[in-house]
Chains A and B, each alone.
Chain A
Amino acid sequence: MKAIPLVLTLLSAVSAYAADREFTDVVRIISEEFHTRPTSIPMFGLVNLFTAAVHPAGTRHIDLAVFEHLSDHDRQGRDLPEAIMKAVGRSWRPFVQVRSHRNGREETVFVYMRQEGKEWKLLITAIENEEATVVQLLLNADALARWITSPEHSARHWNGETE
């Protein structure tokens, strides 16, 4: 019974951090470009309940959209990086951008950031040949500092690239 107020508090904390317009815009742009929708992630709400309570690695909230099995055949053909940059706009600071194409493998990672009081938001978009991920993180200053220390490495690490 005592757990109910705790759960309600956590739920209200989670709902207080809705995804920003820019996150939904980037997700929409990728959806339209590939004529697809993000993969449904079962029980992702629980992840944010946990995140709101425990703040793993200084993260207080996560919004995540994952696109799988993307195919060039389904593409509209617009300049995706350009469209994403326009969608994100000037209220977010560009932090790191990595664009690489090696051995026919295309990878693009955009990391933008925005300060919200004492906390920081990171908006990360990683696009590969057949996959795309859009993540918005709400971080405390310690967690952001870890990103800043080695921005290039953080962006690559996020994209799953190993050194």
Chain B
Amino acid sequence: MKFALSVLCAVLPLAAQDVKMPVGLDKLGAKASEVVDVSLDGALLQLAGRFLSEKDPDEANVKRLVGGLKGVYVKSFEFEDRDQYKESDVEELRAQLRGPAWARIVSARSKKDGENSEIYLKTDAGQISGLVIIVAEPKELTVVNIVGFIRPEDIRDLGGHWGIPKVDIAPVKPGKNDKKEDEK
């Protein structure tokens, strides 16, 4: 019984996060000058939502979004030098996002800054159930996993909250949110 409970306890957080952080990505921590992990489950998000103001339009927006979220998980790596991580380090994560439930809805590449932002959307039975953001810069890599109902256009409102980076994406028009490629 104890063993079964231990196994259950071990599996539950992974199930909640849905997307598993690849071991290869975790190993980047050794090269990074800074690694930040933020984990906020549903209960904590609801608690945070209680303290957001209804009067401030920005906070009211975030408060509305929080109601549909079950978890926010952020992992970011900062490096002293450029090119400390390889495309293959991120590939293991991308492979998980190629399943039938996932669709890459935005891929923005900036030649000037070398920044590459990707947004993947998860749907279950036609309902949005999660979103993953990968922001790869020459000296920084950030992976955000948002579990729950969130529309891609809401990401801008969440940027700057709970460790989520500000992602500058063009708003996705209704009905045109499938496989959008955007080159800056």
CA distance A145 to B34 in the complex (A): 25
Residue in A93, A101, A102, A145 whose beta carbon sits within 8 Å of that of B39 in the complex: A93
Structural contact, A149 and B51, CB atoms closer than 8 A: yes
Given A99-B29, A99-B34, A101-B33, check contact A144 B47 (CB 8 Å): yes
Q: Beyond A99-B29, A148-B162, is A141–B34 a contact (Cβ under 8 Å)?
A: no
Which of these, B36, B41, B48, contacts A152 with CB under 8 Å?
B36
CB neighbours of A145 from chain B (8 A)? 47-48, 50-51
- Contact partner of B38 among A95, A99, A102, CB < 8 A? A95
- Cβ contacts under 8 Å, A36 to chain B: none
Q: Are B36 and A98 in contact (CB-based, < 8 A)? A: yes
Contacts of A98 in B (CB 8 A): 34-37
> Is B125 part of the binding interface, using a Cβ–Cβ cutoff of 8 Å?
no
Within 8 A of B (CB), among A63-109: 90, 93-102
Interface size on A, residues (CB 8 A): 23
A-B pair number, CB within 8 angstroms: 63
Q: Please report the C-alpha to C-alpha distance between residue A94 and residue B17 in the assembled complex, in whole angstroms.
A: 13
Q: A144-B47, A148-B44, A149-B51 are in contact. List 11 more A-B contacts (CB 8 A).
A: A90-B9, A94-B37, A96-B39, A97-B35, A98-B36, A102-B33, A148-B40, A149-B161, A149-B162, A151-B38, A151-B163
22 contacts between A and B (CB under 8 A): A90-B9, A93-B39, A93-B41, A95-B39, A96-B36, A96-B38, A97-B36, A97-B37, A98-B37, A100-B34, A113-B44, A115-B43, A142-B51, A149-B51, A149-B162, A150-B161, A150-B162, A151-B38, A151-B40, A151-B162, A152-B36, A152-B38
Binding site for A on B (CB under 8 A): 9, 29, 33-41, 43-44, 47-48, 50-51, 78, 80, 161-163
The 9 tightest CB contacts between A and B, nearest first, are A100-B34, A145-B51, A97-B37, A148-B48, A99-B35, A152-B163, A151-B38, A102-B33, A98-B36
